[in-house]
Amino acid sequence: MRLGRHAFGDDDPLMMGIVNRTPDSFFDKGATWAEDAAFARVAEVVAQGAEIVDIGGIKAAPGVEISAAEEKARVVDFVAQVRATYPDLVISVDTWRAEVGAAVCAAGADVLNDAWGGADPELVDVAAEHDAAIICTHTGGVTPRTRPYRIEYDDVVAAAIADTTAYAQRALDAGVARESIVIDPAHDFGKNTFHSLEVTRRLGEMVATGWPVLVSLSNKDFVGETLGLDVGERLVGTLAATSVCALAGARIYRVHQVVETRQTVDMVWSIAGRRPPLRAIRGLQ
Amino acid sequence: MRARALVPGVPALLPSYASLDDPVAPLRAACLSAVGELGPRVRVVASGPSGRRVGAALAEAVGAVVVDADETGTLVVGNGSATRTEKAPGHLDERAAGFDAALRASFDHIDLALADELWADVTCLVGLPPLADGDVRYDDAPYGVQYWVAVWG
């Protein structure tokens, strides 16, 4: 797998730390809205071992309309600053807009994380032009920044596989490198809690497509609704879902809590026989 | 006299029990250097399957083949007590240090009953020359088990 300038082994799970340049995202509620706070957040997740940062200028939920110009003002210079400070860090930008994608790639971004499943058809061309990676998500065709409402699928996993692999093929046809295409079932996007639970349970079917799979589970509503917990109380449930996805072989984990997720994924990776223990001597002296 | 080497039968040396951070790195380096001096055909002398596996793995790691006859060198697998500390596999036995000190001086006249109590793997050490007559590459008990690595030319 190659994410822009950065290549990774076929069996390395990667942590993608979430950095919101927004005043209103659900988890941090604007804690990293100011540029210096956002930069401190980048430093934090880097220190915690995240290979990737995912910088977003617009919260996923409905809210005030943010123009492309405003989105660019929030992320482009910031990406350039992060690029200059952390040359070895993979920079992903969470955007669905080609115009924004082009600007952040020019500023040093490596990955375009299209959380809205190809809403802007030209985003793949931007990724190809800049040799950037692209995350192909499944949203069930909903409009960006809308909540799912009475969406039904004959088979949500089959739909997620069909849509994300079609998107991946579209990216490939546009000239994006095969090793730079990742698919994401997009928990909670165009999905109710039952859908997200089923996607988690059957994640192995997505892995079996051969495309590397990203999961974005962190503190989401499907965890909250399943356990009856508010946003600040969902870490344990998030990690349980993370374990299931890790056992199935998900490669990239988009997270708020890097350290806890890394421990969880490392443990599951070792259980799965894909990673040796760090240091095992008990009974082997 | 063909070359002989002594290594401990430590399963952590096996590739199938490899960790990301090798917990026995200095021991492994010493073992490989010693086994590397036994030539291309190595006969492994061990008291059980675990020790035989370790010996064979070390031989393989240096590019030698394990044989039952016409060897170029002999690899003896064994070690001292496994009761040197409270965290040792067999817990602390106050007699262990003295027992190992006696082995360090000579492999003759080993108290096999005591060896059994101290979880020492000494069956194959009987008859080896004293460590003082060989080139000792390792002499330590990092996990409560006494290890020696030595080569006799």
**Could you report the per-residue pLDDT of A42-53, keeping only the tens digit for each?**
999 999 999 999
Give CATH for domain A2-271.
Answer: 3.20.20.20
Nearest C-alpha of chain A: how many angstroms from B35?
Answer: 19
**Between residues B12 and A66, the one the model is more confident about:** B12
Of A245, A252, A250, nearest in space to A223 by CA: A245
CB burial class (10 A; 0-12, 13-18, 19+) of residue A278?
A: exposed
**Between residues A35 and A133, the one the model is more confident about:** A133
Tell me the catalytic residues of A: 220, 254
What pLDDT shows up at residue A25?
Answer: 81
Residue B97 dihedral angles phi and psi, to the nearest 5°: -60, -45
Which chain A residues are Cβ-neighbours of B12 within 8 angstroms? 280-281, 284-285
Q: Please write the tens of the pLDDT for every residue from A116-141.
A: 888 899 999 999 999 999 999 998 87
The one-letter amino acid code at A196 reads S
**Between residues A158 and A142, the one the model is more confident about:** A158
Nearest C-alpha of chain B: how many angstroms from A275?
Answer: 8
Does residue B143 sit at the A interface (CB-CB below 8 Å)?
A: yes
What pLDDT shows up at residue A182?
Answer: 98
Nearest C-alpha of chain A: how many angstroms from B42?
Answer: 24
Determine which of B13, B14, B16, B21 to mutate to test the interface with A (most A C-beta atoms within 10 Å). Answer: B21
**Interchain proximity A285–B10, CB inside 8 Å:** yes
Nearest to B19 among A280, A283, A285 (CB): A280
Nearest to B19 among A277, A283, A285 (CB): A277
Average pLDDT on A15-33 reads: 88
Nearest C-alpha of chain B: how many angstroms from A285?
Answer: 5
CB burial class (10 A; 0-12, 13-18, 19+) of residue B109?
A: exposed
Mean pLDDT for all residues in chain A: 95
Q: How confident is the model at residue A103 (pLDDT cuts 50, 70, 90)?
A: very high
**Between residues A222 and A64, the one the model is more confident about:** A222
Residue A279: pLDDT over 90: yes
Nearest to A276 among B10, B18, B89 (CB): B18
**Between residues A208 and A142, the one the model is more confident about:** A208
**Interchain proximity B12–A279, CB inside 8 Å:** no
- CB count within 10 Å of CB B53 equals 18
Strands of chain A (E only): list them: 2-3, 6-7, 14-20, 52-56, 90-94, 111-114, 133-137, 181-184, 214-215, 252-255
Does residue A279 sit at the B interface (CB-CB below 8 Å)?
A: yes
Where do the domains of chain A lie? 2-271
Percent of chain A with pLDDT over 70: 100
Nearest to A285 among B20, B21, B143 (CB): B143
Task: At A264, list the tokens.
Answer: 């969880």
- CB count within 10 Å of CB A245 equals 28
Size of the A and B interface in Cβ pairs below 8 Å: 38
Extract the residue ranges of chain B whose pLDDT is less than 70: 1
Residue A8: pLDDT over 70: yes
**Interchain proximity B17–A278, CB inside 8 Å:** no
What pLDDT shows up at residue A28?
Answer: 81
